[in-house]
Every structure is written in C-alpha cells, then in structure tokens.
C-alpha cells in the first residue's frame, strides 16, 4: 500500500511539473513572425546541365533589402551524400543584383550553375533576407531535390 502511494505521489509530482517544463521550453522558442517578411519559396529549375536556384520573397511592405543573402548549391550522385558545389553570395558583385533588390516588396530571381552532371541530384540551401538596411530577418530553406 505504501509503495503504491509512493508511485502515485511520484506520478502526481511529474504531472504537476510537466506543464511547467513544457511552458519553459516554449518560452525559449522565438515566434517566427516577421515585420519584414510575408512569404517566400525556393526551388530549382534544371535545363540541360544548367541548374538554376530560384527564390521568391515577398515583404510585408516595400523593403530596402529583399532577396537571398546566400545560396549554397549541393550535388549528390545517389541523393544521400551531399557535397557543396557552388556558393553564391550577395556580397559578390557578380551576383549582387541577382540576389538582393532594393525598394521592392516582392522579388523573384535566380542564379545559374552550368556545370551540372547528368544523373546527379541537386538541391540548394538558401538564406532568405528581408530588411530595412539596419535590421532585418533571415530565413533558411532547402529546395526540393531535382535530378539532371
């Protein structure tokens, strides 16, 4: 009887503690709302051996900076093990205008990679960005996998 009482007491304590633990955990998770970003999507379009990493970003309003800060293209022979084959950055003058726009609320763009291998799989890891020049929000997203 004593043992049963002890077990019940432990269960009761755990039950009382669990919501507190859960609430504490929730407090550490930041809400994902954004004052800058409304929606975004990323995807690949393949044409021949050219792999284009596309992104579309929509701001809550007209933004000073809107687009993608970085795109890492990855390839895989089997769809399991992945290797970075190209990194595109908005700091690179060759891609700056393709990746970040100014004074826009919606921005569609893409960057090309022309050395794709037939039969290989590709995906891109994109850093979405929306900001006012000083502050902003970044989001990270993978494209779906495409095969050449």
Residues that bind other proteins (CB under 8 A): 29, 31-35, 37-43, 45, 54, 56, 58, 60-61, 105-106, 108, 110, 139, 141, 143-144
Between 74 and 109, name the residue whose CB sits nearer to other proteins: 109
Length of the chain, in residues: 148
Between 21 and 45, name the residue whose CB sits nearer to other proteins: 45
Between CA 135 and CA 143, with CA 141 as vertex, the angle to 5 degrees is 145
Between 85 and 145, name the residue whose CB sits nearer to other proteins: 145
Instruction: For the CB of residue 2, give the shortest distance to other proteins in the complex, in Å.
Output: 44
Instruction: For the CB of residue 39, give the shortest distance to other proteins in the complex, in Å.
Output: 5
Instruction: For the CB of residue 42, give the shortest distance to other proteins in the complex, in Å.
Output: 7
Q: What is the largest CA-CA distance in the chain?
A: 77
**What does DSSP assign to residue 1?**
-
Compute how many other C-beta atoms are within 10 angstroms of the C-beta atom of residue 57: 28
Task: List, in sequence order, the alpha helices (H) in the chain.
Answer: 2-28, 96-99
């Amino acid at each position: 009887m004593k043992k049963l009482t002890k077990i019940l007491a432990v269960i009761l304590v755990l039950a009382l503690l669990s919501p507190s633990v859960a609430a504490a955990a929730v407090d550490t998770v930041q809400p994902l709302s954004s004052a800058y970003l409304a929606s975004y999507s990323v995807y690949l379009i393949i044409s021949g051996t050219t792999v284009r990493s596309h992104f579309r970003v929509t701001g809550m309003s007209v933004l000073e900076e809107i687009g993608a800060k970085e795109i890492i293209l990855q390839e895989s022979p089997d769809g399991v093990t992945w290797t970075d084959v190209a990194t595109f950055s908005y700091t690179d003058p060759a891609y700056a205008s393709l990746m970040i726009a100014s004074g826009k609320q919606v921005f569609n763009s893409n960057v090309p990679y022309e050395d794709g291998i037939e039969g290989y799989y590709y995906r891109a890891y994109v850093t979405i960005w929306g900001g006012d020049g000083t502050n902003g929000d970044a989001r990270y997203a993978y494209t779906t996998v495409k095969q050449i």
